[in-house]
Amino acid sequence: MSIGERVRPDRLGSTRPTRAPRDRARREPYVGRVESTPLRGILLTIDTIAVAAAWFVTLLAPWHGRSAFHDETGALLIAVPAITVGSLLLIASQRLYLARVCGVRAVEVSRLARASTISGLGTYLVAAAAGTSVSVARTLAGIALAFAFLALGRGAYGTWLKSSRAAGRFSRPVIIVGTNAEGRELERLLRTHPELGFRVVGCVGRSDELALWRDDVPWLGDLNGATDAIVGRGANGVIIAASAVPHDQLNRLTRQLLDSELHVHLSTGLKGIAYKRLRSLPLAHEPLFYLEPVSLSRWQLVVKRGLDIAVASVSLLFAAPVLALAAIAIKLDDRGPVFFRQRRVGRAGRTFEVLKLRTMVPDAEQRLAEVTAENQRRDGPLFKVTDDPRRTRVGRILEATSLDELPQLINVLLGSMSLVGPRPALPDEVAKFDDELLERHSVRPGITGLWQVEARDNPSFEAYRRLDLFYVENWSVTLDLAVLFETFQAVMARLLRGPMPHPDPAYSAPDRSTAA
């Protein structure tokens, strides 16, 4: 029985594979346990360079006319490697070379900050004990610089890894246990987000539930022989849809899979709930979660609006020369208007006029029918053509660099938009939204958002829907700050590498959900 074969129940029996020999290496879910490429080694190299560069600059830079070690070059050459090794040990102690930890950006950043701080304090104390004075100001500068270099370095690494995974590389083969609706949703989630690094190579469950599954996901057997059906299939992990497996069988199955040296992911049955709202709260030693309610205090709303006004004002000030040059380029290109204005749907379903630098020919709206047939977003109501013939030469540059979005800072100051939120949709798109998706209008639309930083190059409407609804359900000031930080990195990454490909032929092009 081959892994690519859809097997009927009556073809099982003696064809079950024997249990494969255990591979102890599977116990290490480090970054780099996928394919043979040493991803963990790459990450370790990035961290080494980041920490060494940060502290070399910090200790060598003149402070009140002199460096930390004055003219003692030898001491500097000893101190930087020592601080680097210590920092790397601290980073490792934070489990930041485990894929399941550093794969969550918010957790990664917070633990990098912790490791950088402890390393800096250790440097200060060791220097003081050794009779070499490192000032408090220089120590704080070293902590800040080390954290910045580490965060930016790992951010660039994460962007590269996501791009590689979206192209089909560095993916971990997994098997879905459970063929019910939840199991199907899990398979669709991994297919929609290939950048997560999971490649489904089969499913196990009831054969009468396979009607809604894609034919290219082989059925390996039913739940009664799940372990034997999974082991030896080339997968090093399983994802269990808990609702598809009876309680007593679930306990037995998870233990068998763990004994077979497989990584086990177990679903909670919840959807669209931020993991931070789940609190481990065992009862009589049984594993249960307590679900925190959504509680946004008034101060968070005030801080969000204050952040919008402050950042938009400063950004407009610094962006003024860029906007002026872009306006001149647009005028010289075709003598048309500089700005593009379009009605969009905002908070509470009210429409407003969004501002953008014009990237298409002046009569682009009237020529929409010319490209409607080439829409690459066919799984939802949104529209996108990558190589739109209506786009001008200047417009292609503005669109690729996201500079066309800068005038929306004015929308932010006027209060019709926020810096972070779901992208404002067109009225005719909103008319096709279901009641659940209309919940996105309970917050102000944003210039950037969770979808832009996590799935902008993913044209799946399902990704757009899921991430927008997640933001509405779980937004906070902390999440907004994380999205703004990720947006900066994403824009820089797009300038360097261009859009990420999507390996699924059904999703062959990027999407921005904008008409011009």
In this model, does residue 269 exceed pLDDT 90? no
Q: In this predicted structure, what is the pLDDT of residue 497? A: 56
* Residue 53 included in any domain: yes
DSSP 186: H
Average pLDDT over residues 285-290: 86
- CA dist 183 and 256 (Å) reads 20
Put the strands of the sheet holding 263-266 in their side by side order: 219-221, 198-204, 172-177, 237-240, 263-266
Shared-domain flag, residues 69 and 152: yes
Q: Is the dihedral angle over the CA atoms 300, 305, 310, 314 positive or is it negative?
A: positive
Q: Is the pTM of this model over 0.85?
A: no
- Could you read off the pLDDT of 337-368 as tens digits, one per residue? 999 999 999 998 999 999 999 988 888 777 77
For 260-297, give the secondary structure using H, E and C. Answer: CCCEEEECCCCCCCCHHHEEECCECCECCEEECCCCCC
* Residue 291 included in any domain: no
Which stretches of 332-455 are assigned E, i.e. beta strand?
Answer: 339-345, 351-357, 418-420, 446-448
Report the range out of 6-10, 43-47, 132-136, 297-301 with the highest average pLDDT: 43-47
* Residue 33 included in any domain: no
Answer whether 442's CB lies under 8 Å from 469's CB: no
- CA dist 416 and 405 (Å) reads 15
- CA dist 432 and 464 (Å) reads 14
Of 155, 143, 191, 173, nearest to 235 by C-alpha is 173
Shared-domain flag, residues 446 and 330: yes
Average pLDDT over residues 10-38: 39
* Residue 233 included in any domain: yes
- Could you read off the pLDDT of 110-136 as tens digits, one per residue? 899 999 999 999 988 888 877 767 788
Shared-domain flag, residues 302 and 405: yes
Shared-domain flag, residues 481 and 453: yes
- CA dist 294 and 274 (Å) reads 10
Percent helix, percent strand, percent coil in the chain, to nearest 5:
55, 10, 35
DSSP 319: H
* Residue 15 included in any domain: no
Domain end: 166, 199, 220, which one?
166
Answer whether 136's CB lies under 8 Å from 102's CB: no
In this model, does residue 447 exceed pLDDT 90? yes
Total domains present in the chain: 3
For 470-482, give the secondary structure using H, E and C. Answer: HHHHHCCHHHHHH
Average pLDDT over residues 459-472: 83
- CA dist 311 and 315 (Å) reads 6
Shared-domain flag, residues 160 and 189: no
* Residue 239 included in any domain: yes
The CATH number given to whatever domain includes residue 259 is 3.40.50.720
Q: Torsions phi, psi of 360, nearest 5?
A: -120, 170
- CA dist 135 and 68 (Å) reads 8
Of 191, 236, 218, 235, nearest to 3 by C-alpha is 218
DSSP 35: S
Q: Which of 11-15, 197-201, 239-243, 395-399 is the least confident region?
A: 11-15
* Residue 502 included in any domain: no
Q: In this predicted structure, what is the pLDDT of residue 175? A: 95
Q: Which of 284-293, 409-418, 487-496 is the least confident region?
A: 487-496
Of 461, 470, 447, nearest to 502 by C-alpha is 461
Shared-domain flag, residues 156 and 199: no
Q: List beta partners, residue 342.
A: 354
Alpha-carbon distance values, 339 to 65, 363, 413, 491 (Å)? 50, 13, 17, 22
Shared-domain flag, residues 320 and 399: yes
Q: List beta partners, residue 355.
A: 341
Q: What residues contact residue 142 under an 8 Å CB cut-off, 6+ apart?
A: 54, 55, 58, 59, 120, 123
Rg of the chain over Cα atoms, rounded to whole angstroms, equals: 26
Domain end: 248, 269, 290, which one?
269
* Residue 108 included in any domain: yes
Question: Which tokens go with 384?
Answer: 């996108």
Q: In this predicted structure, what is the pLDDT of residue 450? A: 85
In terms of residue numbers, what domain contains 475? 298-497
Question: Which tokens go with 444?
Answer: 């102000």
Domain end: 232, 252, 269, which one?
269
Average pLDDT over residues 255-284: 87
Shared-domain flag, residues 162 and 175: no
Shared-domain flag, residues 175 and 160: no
Shared-domain flag, residues 136 and 216: no
Q: Torsions phi, psi of 474, nearest 5?
A: -130, 15
Query: How many alpha carbons fall within 13 Å on the CB side of residue 196?
Result: 18
Shared-domain flag, residues 104 and 137: yes
Shared-domain flag, residues 447 and 312: yes
Tokens 């292609």 correspond to 396
